[in-house]
Amino acid sequence: MSIEQRLQELGITLPPLAIPAAAYTPFVRTGNLVFISGHIAKRDGKPWVGQLGLNMDTAQGQAAARAVAIDLMGTLQAAVGKLAQVRRIVKVMSLVNSTPSYTEQHLVTNGCSELLGQVFGAEVGTHARSAFGVAQLPLGACVEIELIAEVA
């Protein structure tokens, strides 16, 4: 099954490339690597504001991380033309806006990692990963994730 078929089966339409909100580029390609800048979670086109352990639970955080994965794939598609060009999702780094006592950042990040595995398959979609709890993110967003991919 192709990546496009998997996306369709999951009911996912990838968004167009977003315009950066500051002095950066959405992605940089160097050699066979594409570095995707951090994307914040959005809901209904607006920042998904919240703090895990305060006014959001782990399941809500996972949904936010899944939403970020969809945006990241949209940017990756803009960077390479077709997602079939992706040879490997190499690394995901996740920042979770959380209280000092919240310790499930890794479970929140699964929302992104699991979707990448579903879309790209285990061989391409399984990746190295870091998940950090942070005191705050731009615009009060609950989750921000960046991605590195190897492409053809």
Q: Tell me: the pLDDT tens digits for 114-127?
A: 999 999 999 999 99
- Residue 40, CA distances (Å) to 14, 72, 106, 116 in order: 15, 10, 17, 17
Instruction: Extract the tokens encoding 142.
Output: 């609950």
pLDDT score of 28: 98
Residue 15, classified by CB atoms within 10 Å of its CB into exposed (0-12), middle (13-18) or buried (19+), is middle
pLDDT at 21: 82
Question: So what's the architecture of 3-12+22-151 in CATH?
Answer: 2-Layer Sandwich (3.30)
* Residue 83, pLDDT score: 97
pLDDT band at 40 (very low <50, low <70, confident <90, very high): very high
What distance in Å separates the CA atoms of residue 66 and residue 116, rounded to the nearest whole number? 9
Q: Which residue has the higher pLDDT, 145 or 20?
A: 145
For the stretch 55-107, pLDDT in tens is 999 999 999 999 999 999 999 999 999 999 999 999 999 999 999 999 999 99
Q: What are the residues facing 29 on neighbouring strands?
A: 34
Burial 65-84 (b: 16+ CB within 10 A, else e): bbbbbbbbbbbbbbbbeebe
Q: What is the pTM of this model?
A: 0.97
Spatial distance between the Cα atoms of 148 and 138, rounded to a whole number of angstroms: 21
Does residue 51 have a pLDDT over 90? yes
In the structure encoding, which two tokens stand for residue 34, read together?
A: 């594409």
Report d(CA 133, CA 105) in Å as an integer: 6
What is the predicted pLDDT for the residue at 19?
87
Alpha carbon distance 119, 9 (integer Å): 10
Average pLDDT over residues 124-147: 98
Average pLDDT of the chain is 97
